[in-house]
Structure 1
């Protein structure tokens, strides 16, 4: 039995095989070892803000209390829409935080999760970002010099390809293998004028094409059986989540009783029994 405040699972990859680790309280376990076993997560109804650690009645932006949600740069609208970054205007909520997390190199990538999608992430978050989205394949397209630039490039690609994962389809394991190198070439050819315009405005080195030095990464998730019907389990409505663990993908546990997004309940106090 493990007890404590939930956090997103950490991951490791070896030869494409994904391994998940859950830290709960002072303990840690490799979740892959629970496949096929009966498990339960009992939520105590207590939520601690992951920033200030205070008890909060409601979680905002996956783990923050309302006050932190309103004041932290990590919860600003530009986190979800990086093209709206306003650091250069001098209005960032936390300029020092932004220097560490936003004003550094980012990648724009293609991934195959439920289908082809475009996304962005910091340079130190690969392949973690791909795995958290449940991608079976992923390939970096460009390296750019800050978060705002990654958002501007992503916005171009959103005219041609989705930027969201259909999580229900992802959990059904329905993605078909794709030639991401071909998709990369097709999209860059289609969007060349827009990319050229951004480089003209921000400089040639603002967008580095990785076509000649990159590879497609593939991931295999620990899944015994994918659900044919995806039923979401809500810890707010049903504090005791029970079932046999059939698989792990993204940040989801797939039980024979339904699926639960572990990351959604960051900061929630829970007891895991297995």
Structure 2
């Protein structure tokens, strides 16, 4: 049996363990059902997530021209503090930016390889934490727009990391932390215009991933360079597929690539 389609980040369902789905145009695969099965993945072509053309992917699933034109790839996406829709100022597409930026956002702490601070739309909780491979997470503030979340993250990342070590996360080389204690410790560093949105009391969320074997020395698969790969799937964590030979494949980093998957 085989499936073919353009890669986009896996959809997930909050359960114990997390359920993962690879969604193509007309089909989907429940990746949990492929655990401990041998699968083959083949590179077919590129397909830009915006224009659909067979052009090399530059970043985030877009070819180079589209990346610098589409609103989904503007600087404020990666740097929320640059958001300007609350001022009525357009970056690339004001209507898109209003829809994305002028909605409730969460600043959170997540523990994947280490405790890190991050920003996400409220509607993306707990999906964002799943995508990062965090085994525990907690909200710090809930604000009405992306800008306020962004300036909070900027302030807090001087005290705590805003990056995940993907190798450490995949090796499951982690320690449990008291995230409520971390949150209280960081309270003093929240900007004064945001402090009223501080979440004083809530519990952390714990996540369990479908992994039967963690890699000791994960090595990343470049499917374009390799063209084809066959391996036994032993886990899914974050947006990574983990194979028995310690090969790992970052689905999200390969958005915009058409693959054929057979098993």
Of 228, 234, 240, the residue aligned with 1:246 is 234
8 Å contact kept, 1:225–1:247? yes
Post-superposition Cα deviations, 1:138-182, rounded to whole Å, max 9, x if no partner, equal: 101101111111110001110110001100100001111111111
Q: Give the superposition deviation at 1:6.
A: 1.4
Query: What's the CA shift string for 1:20-39, capped at 9, x where partnerless?
Result: 01123422121011111111
Residue of structure 1 equivalent to 2:197 = 208
Per-residue deviation at 1:91?
3.7
Q: Tell me if structure 1 keeps the 8 A contact 2:60–2:73.
A: no
Matched with 1:195 is 191
> 1:101 aligns to what SS in structure 2?
helix
Structure 2 matches for 1:102-121, cutoff 5 A?
A: 102-121=101-120
| Pairing of 1:1-274 with structure 2 (within 5 A) | 1-14=2-15, 16-44=16-44, 46-56=45-55, 58-87=56-85, 88=87, 90-189=89-188, 191=189, 194-196=190-192, 198-199=193-194, 207-212=196-201, 214-257=202-245, 258-274=247-263
In structure 2, the CA distance between the partners of 1:23 and 1:89, relative to structure 1 (3 Å rule), is closer
Q: CA deviation at 1:51?
A: 1.7
Any unmatched runs of 5+ in structure 1? Answer: none
Deviation at 1:71, TM superposition (A): 1.3
- Once the two structures are superposed, residues 101-137 of structure 1 have per-residue CA deviations (whole angstroms, 9 ceiling, x without a partner) of 1111100000000010000001111110000000000
- Cα distance in 1, alignment partners of residues 25 and 125 from structure 2: 26
Contact 1:231–1:259 under 8 Å retained in 2: yes
**Is the 1:2–1:25 Cα contact (8 Å) retained in structure 2?**
no
* Cα distance in structure 2, aligned partners of 1:27 and 1:164: 33
State the TM-score, normalized to the length of structure 2.
Answer: 0.94
CA displacement at 1:54 relative to structure 2: 2.2
Instruction: Report the alpha carbon displacement of residue 89 of structure 1 after superposing the two structures with TM.
Output: 6.7
TM-score, L = length of structure 1: 0.91
* Cα shift at 1:227: 0.5
What SS does the aligned partner of 2:174 have? coil
Cα-Cα RMSD: 1.5
- State the Cα deviation string for residues 42-69 of structure 1 (Å, max 9, x = none): 011x11111222221x213321122221
Query: What residue ranges of structure 2 are gaps of 5+ in the alignment?
Result: none
Q: For residue 218 of structure 1, report the CA deviation from its aligned partner.
A: 0.3
